[in-house]
């Protein structure tokens, strides 16, 4: 038995999901309110017999691992590790090699956790630290406790000595970013600082941000844990462990620049706020947040650097399927922390009135050059079209072209011509996407996108397959659709199996590695069609209706693809190709 099956065998899916969802018995299954939406009628079901779950409101489903991946925003390896700890399974026993890397990570978690408790205890004992944290920073006790804020004493070796006495080695302290070698010997890295733990989405501490509490001009105001085997600033999203539920409920996240902006915002009840831990926004940041919502609102400085950061974020957002907008701070407030101290209502209003990111950047271009002069129009249009070129949807492209034309008081036609005739890279220095998607912290390096887990909008396909899997009499309807009509490999595999079965019963084992999907569709059919109001004729009529809906969706997808190709043909001036695509588009519209 491998590690995954050992974990599955030790944990009951009802017990695990029950920690997140209040479940009630419903026949042989359990049901509750979906953890992914705000609903009043339960649409979330768990089958202990099949060890699967399914959410009818979002069409998500799977086993114990996929649930934890969805609700915690983890990948499979992280989900397995989390559930293994819960089940008491030592993953290193199932890994190739000696498992030393995993053991080193666990020891580092241990010493980082010990350091966090040391900092919290030091804060309790220091009046200076308390004066800074509670009076100068105006943080309350609840916020300090939630974020586990502490204090690093102005001591050369206080923490280092403690950790060495607890059995950790000097190399381990250095590797964890807690100690450093100096001329006088091994000593504490953080001294005389308010300490804010940097934690993963499950609340485990990875490192720290240390904020200087005095005015020592020779020392940096902020000091962060360096890169370790646990902490990578290009991937870490500060505050996500406390914000994820609010993000899911509001269906958007606000990304700010400073960690203390997050703390202050949470303190006043605006908890859908996270930060990028003092570094530029990267694709990893966006994909991590997008596991909880595809809607992200940036709250960066409105200066040139803030505009540039938003410019760089826009193509990454399109690459990762994120909808990006910008929160503009009113008045003289330089950051959310300052605005919140002035007015919580103003902070909430700024978030509620977030601007579309591309439109906001275009407006910023118009404040830096004169949109009424010929030279200004040329400069602004070059900058804006470089940005618009990153947009993939042709409808959105047209929208931004029209918006830019309105700002410049010119027709949209010359802008479309300039967009089509100007090659990527012909601009005045604004951001241009390179091969792949750049890692903003390393502009010369490209990284591979990790697509966020998104809501499945192809639910009709699952219901259609569920009907045909559970009720062989409906399988004549399979002739009405094609394999290509299904939007995933597992759906296509099930379709193929069902077309070959005739009137023989289907079992999930027939899908081999996609057995869980087979269990889900049978569970879906059981929940939807087990009532007495359904008979052979009504089930077949239902299947025909679903097939029609699927074919309409397929046609819409083809129309979108053709529309995008028409845009490309227009941009390169291929008139014959454009005419051919137009005829194909019109034929599909008539047949629709």
Domains and CATH numbers, the chain: 3-94 (3.90.580.10), 100-224 (3.90.980.10), 233-453 (3.40.1360.10), 459-586 (1.10.860)
Which bin fits 440, alpha (ψ -120 to 50), beta or left (φ > 0)? Answer: alpha
CA–CA separation, 150 and 135 (whole Å): 15
CA–CA separation, 473 and 463 (whole Å): 15
Are β-strands 253-256 and 295-299 bridged in parallel, bridged antiparallel, or unpaired? parallel
Asked if the model's pLDDT at residue 467 lies above 80, the reply is yes
Instruction: List residues bridging with 53 in a β-sheet.
Output: 46, 62
3 state DSSP class of 293: coil
Instruction: List residues bridging with 150 in a β-sheet.
Output: 195
Asked if the model's pLDDT at residue 456 lies above 90, the reply is no
* Average pLDDT, rounded, for the chain: 85
Q: What percent of the chain has pLDDT over 90?
A: 43
If pLDDT is split at 50, 70 and 90, which confidence band does 471 have? very high
pLDDT of residue 446: 31
Residue closest to 555 by CA, chosen among 584, 581, 592: 592
Asked if the model's pLDDT at residue 296 lies above 70, the reply is yes
3 state DSSP class of 239: coil
306-332: average pLDDT: 87
Which phi and psi angles does 452 have, rounded to 5°? -70, 155
8-26: average pLDDT: 88
- DSSP per residue over 410-426, as a string? S-SHHHHHHHHHSPTT-
17 or 565, which is more confident: 17
Q: What single-letter DSSP state applies at residue 474? A: G
Q: What would the pLDDT profile of 473-513 be if each residue is shown by its tens digit?
A: 999 999 888 888 888 889 999 999 999 998 899 998 899 88
Tokens 């992200």 found at:
296
pLDDT of residue 430: 38
pLDDT of residue 527: 83
Asked if the model's pLDDT at residue 377 lies above 70, the reply is yes
Instruction: List residues bridging with 54 in a β-sheet.
Output: 45, 61
Candidate from 77-86, 251-260, 457-466, 475-484 with smallest mean pLDDT = 457-466
Could you give the residue ranges of the DSSP H alpha helices within 268-411? Answer: 283-290, 304-320, 336-342, 344-352, 357-368, 374-388, 394-408
Q: What percent of the chain has pLDDT over 70?
A: 90
b/e string for 506-540 if b means 16 or more Cβ within 10 A?
bebebbeebebbbbbbbbbbbbebeeeeeeeeebb
How much is the CA Rg of the chain, to the nearest whole Å?
28
Distance of CA 381 to the CA centre of its chain: 32
User: Is 72 in contact with 82 (CB distance < 8 Å)?
Assistant: yes
CA–CA separation, 466 and 527 (whole Å): 10
Which phi and psi angles does 450 have, rounded to 5°? -110, 110
If pLDDT is split at 50, 70 and 90, which confidence band does 436 have? very low
Which phi and psi angles does 223 have, rounded to 5°? -135, 125
Asked if the model's pLDDT at residue 339 lies above 50, the reply is yes
If pLDDT is split at 50, 70 and 90, which confidence band does 247 have? very high
């Amino acid at each position: 038995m491998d590690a995954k099956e050992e974990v599955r065998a030790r944990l009951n899916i009802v017990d695990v999901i029950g920690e997140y969802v209040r479940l009630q018995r419903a026949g042989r299954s359990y049901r509750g309110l979906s953890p992914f939406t705000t609903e009043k009628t339960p649409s979330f079901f768990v089958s202990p017999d099949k060890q699967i779950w399914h959410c009818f409101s979002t069409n998500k489903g799977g086993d114990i691992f996929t649930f934890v991946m969805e609700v915690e925003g983890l990948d499979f390896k992280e989900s397995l590790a989390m559930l293994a700890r819960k089940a008491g399974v030592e993953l290193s026993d199932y890994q190739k090699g000696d498992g030393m890397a995993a053991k080193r990570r666990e020891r580092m978690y241990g010493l980082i956790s010990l350091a966090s408790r040391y900092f919290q205890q030091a804060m309790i004992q220091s009046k200076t630290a308390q004066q800074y944290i509670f009076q100068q920073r105006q943080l309350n006790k609840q916020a300090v406790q939630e974020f586990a804020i502490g204090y690093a004493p102005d001591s050369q070796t206080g923490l280092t000595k403690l950790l060495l006495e607890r059995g950790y080695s000097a190399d381990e302290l250095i590797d964890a970013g807690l100690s450093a070698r100096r001329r006088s010997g091994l000593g504490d890295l953080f001294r005389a600082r308010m300490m804010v733990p940097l934690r993963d989405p499950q609340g485990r501490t990875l490192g720290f941000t240390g904020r200087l509490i005095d005015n020592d001009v020779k020392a940096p105001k902020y000091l962060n844990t360096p890169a370790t085997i646990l902490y990578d600033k290009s991937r870490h999203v500060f505050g996500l462990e406390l914000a994820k539920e609010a993000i899911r409920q509001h269906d958007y996240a606000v990304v700010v620049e400073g960690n203390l902006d997050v703390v202050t915002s949470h303190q006043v009840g605006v908890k859908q706020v996270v930060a990028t831990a003092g570094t530029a926004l990267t694709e990893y940041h966006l994909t991590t947040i997008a596991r909880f919502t595809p809607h992200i609102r940036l709250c960066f400085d409105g200066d040139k650097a803030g505009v540039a950061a938003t410019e760089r974020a826009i193509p990454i957002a399109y690459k990762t399927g994120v909808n990006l907008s910008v929160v503009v701070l009113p008045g003289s407030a330089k950051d959310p922390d300052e605005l919140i101290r002035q007015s919580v209502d103003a902070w909430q209003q700024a978030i509620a009135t977030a601007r579309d990111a591309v439109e906001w950047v275009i407006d910023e271009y118009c404040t830096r050059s004169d949109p009424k002069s010929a030279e200004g129009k040329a400069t602004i249009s070059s900058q804006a079209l470089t940005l618009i070129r990153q947009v993939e949807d042709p409808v959105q492209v047209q929208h931004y072209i029209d918006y830019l034309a309105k700002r410049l008081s010119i027709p949209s036609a010359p802008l479309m011509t300039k967009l089509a005739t100007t090659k990527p890279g012909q601009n005045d220095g604004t951001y241009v996407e390179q091969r792949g998607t750049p890692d903003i912290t390393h502009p010369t390096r490209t990284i591979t996108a990790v697509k966020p887990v998104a809501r499945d909008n192809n639910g009709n396909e699952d219901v259609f397959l569920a009907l045909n899997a559970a009720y062989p009499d409906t399988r004549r309807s399979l002739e009405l659709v094609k394999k290509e009509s299904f939007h995933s490999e597992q759906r296509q595999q099930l379709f193929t199996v069902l077309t070959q079965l005739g009137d023989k019963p289907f079992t999930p084992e027939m899908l081999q590695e996609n057995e869980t999907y087979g269990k889900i569709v049978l569970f879906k059919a059981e929940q939807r069609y087990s009532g007495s109001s359904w008979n052979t004729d009504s089930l077949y009529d239902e299947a025909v209706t679903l097939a029609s809906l699927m074919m309409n969706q397929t046609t819409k997808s083809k129309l979108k693809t053709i529309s995008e190709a028409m845009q490309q043909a227009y941009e390169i001036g291929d008139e014959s190709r454009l005419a051919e695509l137009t005829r194909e588009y019109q034929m599909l519209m008539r047949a629709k």
